[in-house]
Amino acid sequence: MNNTAEKKTDNKITKARKGNLQQILSAAEDIFAKNGYKGTTVSSIANAVGLPKANVLYYFKSKEKLYQEVMNQLLSLWMQHMNEITADSHPKDALPKYIKNKIKQSQNHPNASRIFAAEVLHGAHFLRTSLQQELKDQFQQTCQVFQAWIDKKWIDPIHPEHLLFMLWSSTQAYADHGLQISILMDKEELTETDFEHGITAVTQVILKGCGVKT
């Protein structure tokens, strides 16, 4: 968000800058998601927005900085649905809502999930700090909610951590394994209906599997 010397709220230059900045970030997001960090070249990003690569490296000092910036933009998006599972919510409402939102996000914004999945696969080099802070807080908080539900006998006793892993993996699969799924189902792309069926199936199994009284 900041650069060499950006202090005043001047907006003649800022407008052009912001336009380019956002275009670059958007293209970078797509290409990083598709090819991974090492598999992405700065010039391919530059080509995608019709600029010479020196220009891209002028805005963001390095490839690594650009990558970090992309991840920062995506992190909040990636985590936003978890805090809908609150202590006072009831599993029969909160769980279906979470599953639906998370799968819809896999449908509409697969880049976030894919970039983080690749990060995690390869050691979370650039993401470790965030994982250890924001995400861990959210994680522990959500586990406590699950434990509270168990204590109130709203759901069966299930190891809260593993229940949450199950929720994550089975909803994120629609982004991370989307290509695999579409190949196996013999179609170019998953349709709206496929995602709806996914939501139905996951919700059905999780709700009944947790013993939620409906």
Q: Of residues 18, 153, 159, 213, which one binds a copy of itself by CB under 8 A?
A: 159
210 scored as a contact of a copy of itself (CB under 8 A): yes
Instruction: Count the neighbouring beta carbons within 10 Å of the beta carbon of residue 139.
Output: 18
What distance in Å separates the CA atoms of residue 131 and residue 166, rounded to the nearest whole number? 18
**Residue 79 interacting with a copy of itself (CB under 8 A):** no
Give the number of C-alpha atoms closer than 13 A to the C-alpha of residue 170, restricted to the C-beta side. 19
53 binds DNA (CB under 7 A): yes
Both structure tokens of 54: 């020196």
Residues in CB range of 67: below 8 A, 6 or more apart: 28, 32, 37, 126
**3 state SS of 68:** helix
Interface pattern 55-84 for DNA (x via CB under 7 A): x-xxx-xxxx--------------------
CA distance 98 to 95: 5
| Shortest distance, position 132 Cβ to DNA, whole Å | 25
**Site membership for a copy of itself, residue 77 (CB under 8 A):** no
Our CB check for DNA shows the closer of 44 and 147 to be 44
Q: Which does 6 bind (CB under 5 to 8 A by kind): DNA, a copy of itself, none?
A: DNA
> Can you give the binding site for a copy of itself, defined by CB under 8 A?
34-39, 114, 117-118, 120-124, 128, 131-132, 135-136, 139, 156, 158-159, 161-163, 165-166, 168-170, 172-174, 176-177, 179-181, 183-186, 197-198, 200-202, 204-211
